[in-house]
């Protein structure tokens, strides 16, 4: 199977106008396969395996982890998009280990994605598995499909949000979360 994929990659190299047998490209098919295993490793992970929760001992305020770097691949062009995720929740009975928010982000980002779905998947998974009073997720992304081809706008960015529970229902909670996401 892997040999078949290597041959397809050699075909692609030839189709774009290069020689897959020249020295600099001889090992490229194997390197591409290795990079794909990392870039698309999110398919091999179960969201519930990421969760390590602890009993909430009375904390009723917002918990935010911001500036979580993410790297993903656009499902439309198979080009990278990357940026920062800001994730907040107000706990009910459980809290989650802080690093798990970054792991959850990476797990979904390491798939063919669009930013809107990525944002929703993070928020929905937290709501389903943590059962907090509410969740807010904001992603700020830069997309190579827009930067390096098409309209070629290098400074453009995309912002998406997904709000659940009290983050959607209570204006003051939503405003607090969005304001804290902006602060440096």
The catalytic position among 45, 65, 145, 176 is: 145
The catalytic position among 86, 113, 121, 143 is: 143
143 part of the active site:
yes
The catalytic position among 113, 115, 121, 181 is: 115
The catalytic position among 27, 75, 116, 175 is: 75
The catalytic position among 21, 69, 76, 175 is: 76
86 part of the active site:
no
115 part of the active site:
yes
The catalytic position among 65, 77, 124, 140 is: 77
- Of 158, 182, 168, nearest in space to 132 by CA: 168
* Residues known to be catalytic: 74-77, 115, 143, 145
């Amino acid at each position: 199977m892997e040999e078949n994929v290597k041959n397809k990659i050699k075909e692609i190299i030839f189709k774009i106008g290069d020689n897959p047998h020249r020295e600099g490209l001889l090992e490229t098919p194997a390197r591409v396969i290795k990079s794909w295993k990392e870039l698309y490793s999110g398919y091999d992970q179960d969201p519930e395996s990421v969760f390590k929760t602890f009993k909430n001992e009375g904390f009723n305020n917002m918990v935010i982890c911001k500036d979580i770097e993410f790297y993903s691949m656009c499902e439309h062009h198979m080009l990278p998009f990357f940026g920062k995720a800001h994730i907040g929740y107000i706990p009910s009975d459980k809290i989650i280990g802080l690093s798990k928010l970054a792991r959850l982000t990476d797990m979904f980002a390491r798939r063919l994605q669009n930013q809107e779905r990525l944002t929703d998947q993070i928020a929905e998974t937290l709501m389903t598995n943590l059962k907090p009073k509410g969740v807010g997720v904001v992603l700020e992304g830069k997309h190579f499909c827009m930067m390096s081809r098409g309209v070629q706008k290098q400074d453009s960015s995309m912002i998406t949000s997904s709000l659940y529970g009290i983050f959607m229902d209570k204006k003051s909670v939503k405003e607090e979360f969005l304001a804290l996401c902006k602060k440096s």
